[in-house]
A and B are shown apart, each in its own frame.
Chain A
Amino acid sequence: MPDWNEEIRRQLADLRLAPAREAEIVEELAQHAEDRYRELLSGGATEAEARRIALEEGGGHELLARELRAVERTDAPEPVVLGAGRKGSLLTGLGQDLRYGFRTLRKNPGFTAIAMLALALGIGANTAIFSVVNGVLLRPLEYPEPDRLLKIWETTAEFHQASVAYPNFLDWRRESRSFTDMGAYRGDDFNFTGAGEPEQVPGE
């Protein structure tokens, strides 16, 4: 069977059509040539004769290119844009796009698997990062008016930020008029014993 596609594509090369448009025309003309070729064979022509006649009737390079140039140069057809149905509602176009997408994915299982893996990793990484950002930066402290909370230190000759002695804390809380209230905490380690080996646990 002659390769009609290659022959016709060669005839159309000078027209510089959009690839999708060229493929469509090549397919249609190649099918016509094949139909004619089969008809000639069934009529008793040899394969060489049938091929020659089918190609001659196709018009050859110059005639076909001239005729097509006159039609195609006026205004190239708009490419089909996914989601931009020519008629009908938005949902009609969306449905077509989804069906097209699923068909394409089904035909390329390898690509589909890699794409899904990439998506899963991307979504997982984003979720993890957001969890950290939300906990550290976004989620407010569980107190009323958390933006008005302050942490205060005692400054000594040795330390710029030193823990506050408890008597000082009591004085500050009693005498301060700048704060509504004050609280204090102290970090320490505790020895947890019972059954088995004792364990040291941090506490506040």
Chain B
Amino acid sequence: MEERSIDREWKKGSAELLLLSLVEALPRHGYEISKLIEQRSQGALRFHAASLYPLLYRLEKRGWIQGRWVEKSGQRRRRYYRLTPLGRKTLASQRQGWRTFVEAIGRITGVEHA
């Protein structure tokens, strides 16, 4: 699937869910998040810095994720984002909402989901 085939609004609507999901298991920095989105969507989704970081800052302001600068030996320090307890609740709620939405669309359009 080509990136341009995915409607921009769809991408915006799912962006929060994608970011929260990617920092659920372990803290990640912004570049790592952008690469994971690209890899796991097999190139269908890409978040460039101009949209990725403002969204990360927005989620941080809502208290869903928390960023922290981490210094590792021999590397420049990086800002890692981790899910907060509030973010974990939000992620569960968004997952359920997305699942319900996709199932509803599937029932109407006949498109099966995974």
Enumerate chain A interface residues (CB-CB to B < 8 A): 24-25, 28-29, 31-33, 35-36, 57-60, 63-64, 67-68, 70-72, 74-75, 77
In Å, the complex CA distance between A72 and B30 comes to 18
Question: Chain B residues with Cβ under 8 A from A33's Cβ?
Answer: 49
- Name, among A33, A35, A70, the residue most crowded by chain B CB atoms within 10 Å (CB to CB): A35
Q: How many A-B residue pairs have CB under 8 A?
A: 53
Instruction: Mark contacts of B41-67 with chain A using CB atoms, 8 A cut-off: 1 yes-contact digit, 0 otherwise.
Output: 000000011111111011001000000
In Å, the complex CA distance between A63 and B57 comes to 15
Contact of B113 with A by CB under 8 A:
no
Interface contacts beyond A31-B31, A32-B34: sample of 16 additional A-B pairs, CB < 8 Å, sorted by A: A25-B53, A25-B57, A28-B53, A29-B49, A35-B31, A57-B50, A58-B48, A58-B49, A59-B50, A63-B50, A68-B53, A70-B54, A71-B54, A71-B58, A72-B57, A77-B61
Enumerate chain B interface residues (CB-CB to A < 8 A): 30-31, 34, 48-55, 57-58, 61, 76, 78-79
In Å, the complex CA distance between A29 and B31 comes to 9
Question: Chain A residues with Cβ under 8 A from B51's Cβ?
Answer: 59, 63, 67
A32 near B53: Cβ-Cβ < 8 Å: yes
In Å, the complex CA distance between A74 and B62 comes to 11
**SS class, residues of chain A in contact with chain B:** helix
In Å, the complex CA distance between A36 and B48 comes to 10
Question: Chain A residues with Cβ under 8 A from B61's Cβ?
Answer: 71, 74-75, 77
A58 near B50: Cβ-Cβ < 8 Å: yes
Q: Give the residue of A24, A64, A75 whose beta carbon is less than 8 angstroms from that of B50.
A: A64
20 A-B pairs whose Cβ atoms sit less than 8 Å apart in the complex? A25-B57, A28-B53, A31-B31, A32-B30, A32-B31, A32-B53, A58-B50, A59-B50, A59-B51, A63-B50, A64-B54, A67-B55, A68-B57, A70-B54, A71-B57, A71-B58, A72-B57, A74-B61, A75-B61, A77-B61
